Structure 1
């Protein structure tokens, strides 16, 4: 089993036709299943990178899903949710974005959890979706805003200004180092619950919280790659 370190890396591999790949070893072969994040599902369908799961409605795993999942997974050829569409993916894990912080640092400086200025002391997941989503949430808008100029106060300019302030707080070297609490100057981190909770389970000095205002949800899905697309790995697992 080989792992791909990012979702965009998975999609890039998915998008490379076999006839453009110069195989250097027998490891270049068709993948049976590929794992992608839910945010890439519409894109993969629209670009014909994956194919629907035939007969999914009759399979036990699909029958056991909640109604919300069944609605979410049924899409038309444009990748849009459609009650008459086909089933394109099988979810195998899901969670929410959480915040973890060093309790000792906040007690020492008499700070409220995750609310003070933390310039250079924050680690964030390296995901444009979550970074922009955090900015939109901070501005009182929705993670799911699809027209920033009309749905967000101040439009794109205001979002860019807040994004610049966030960039000043997050050390560029700490992006995608969600569990970097071993680094002395990291006081807080933002990351996926499936990564953060197991890692901090035995760290007595680290607390994990979900914002009262809410947090984004994510899911990882198994999908069938669409021929003639091939990979240099049997299947891949995303690390968010």
Structure 2
């Protein structure tokens, strides 16, 4: 079964999945540490360096800035560009507090995973200024206004923006230079009976396959997402359609500044939700 990484903590806490015995999966060792650490959790779903392994990341993407190149005579490069007066009432965004508050934190030089928002006093005013420029918030329909030209910039997920670019040559996209949010799809093991705790041989073979170079190349070419092992493959062995695509083969200096949306404490979650309500109701 596949699961988005932002749901992994909840699935663990609610005992919906079992940890994986990864010892017999040879290609686990090829996975970069950043991806291994993402799935090492305690039984409450929190990140733990020596925790159990609760999943197998197999593809990933980012939050991008998409824009209409035929409407703008300049190219957005970073989150700070969203505050440009020229984009007033010309932006659509996903309706996700962690994403919008997170990109604002990033614009202020902070992490998406800032625990105590009260330590960033300028955050609320920056969010209010950004909110004035946003015409639509929607998880399902944020790209439609961009297609018809009702907005000129959209903020959303790479697996939805990349295929749209193939159909619409006037739509371009960038990974913000100060870093962005990373998401990952993960293979997980649904909760099983006590007598069925071991992974099947087919499951082990499948996980090994997903981390093989050939599978990684195919994933990155045809799935509108990248494989977590793509950067472990010699660049000369990768197709130009991968290495020449900065949305998939991300510059390492930018990638190092990107964040997974990590689990937050209950108190921090309430801060994010309350701040989002204040901004949206302003």
TM-score of the two chains, using structure 2 as the length reference: 0.58
Distance apart, 1:189 and its partner CA: 0.9
Give the deviation of 1:174 after TM superposition.
5.0
Task: Describe the shift of the 1:45–1:173 C-alpha distance in structure 2 as closer, same or farther (beyond 3 A).
Answer: closer
**Aligned equivalents of 2:11 and 2:27: distance in 1?**
22
CA contact (8 A) 1:37 1:220 kept: yes
Q: CA deviation at 1:130?
A: 0.8
Q: Give ranges in structure 2 of 5+ residues lacking alignment.
A: 194-282
Q: Is the 8 A contact 1:45 1:78 kept in 2?
A: yes
Tell me, in whole angstroms, the C-alpha distance in 1 between the residues paired with 2:27 and 2:97: 31
Q: Is the 8 A contact 1:123 1:175 kept in 2?
A: no
* Equivalent residue, structure 2, for 1:179: 143
Residue 257 (structure 2) aligns with: none
Distance 1:172 1:68, change over 3 A: closer
Give the Cα–Cα distance (whole angstroms) in 2 for the partners of residues 191 and 223 of structure 1.
Answer: 25
**Which secondary structure state, in structure 2, belongs to the residue aligned with residue 182 of structure 1?**
helix
> Bigger CA drift: 79-88 or 208-217?
79-88
Is residue 215 of structure 1 aligned with residue 180 of structure 2?
Answer: yes
Secondary structure at the aligned position of 1:208 is classed as strand
1:116-143 deviation digits (Å, cap 9, x = unpaired): 3222221212322211111211222211
Point out the more displaced range, 167-176 or 88-97: 167-176
Larger helix proportion of the pair: 2
Residue 205 (structure 1) aligns with: 170
Question: Do the aligned partners of 2:64 and 2:174 also contact (CA within 8 Å) in 1?
Answer: yes
- Which residue number in structure 1 is paired with residue 76 of structure 2? 113
Give the SS at the match of 1:221: strand
1:144 to 110, 113, 131: 113
Residue matched to 1:101: 67
Query: What residue number does 1:122 align with?
Result: 91
Structure 1 residue runs of 4 or more that deviate by more than 6 Å after TM superposition: none
The aligned residue for residue 7 of structure 2 is 40
* 1-structure distance, mates of 2:161, 2:52: 34
| Aligned residues: CA RMSD | 2.4
What is the match of residue 156 of structure 2? 191
For residue 142 of structure 1, give the secondary structure of its aligned residue in structure 2. Answer: coil
| 8 Å Cα contact 2:94/2:137 also seen in 1 | no
1:76 aligns with 2:34: no
Q: Residues of 1 paired with 2:61 and 2:177: CA distance?
A: 16
CA contact (8 A) 2:69 2:171 kept: yes
CA shift, 1:60, in A, is 4.2
* TM-score computed with the length of structure 1 as normaliser: 0.67
In the alignment, the residues of structure 1 paired with residue 50 and residue 137 of structure 2 have an alpha-carbon distance, to the nearest angstrom, of: 46
Counterpart Cα distance in 1 of 2:142 and 2:104: 18
Stretches of structure 1 that go unaligned for 5 or more consecutive residues are 1-32, 229-240
Q: CA deviation at 1:62?
A: 2.7
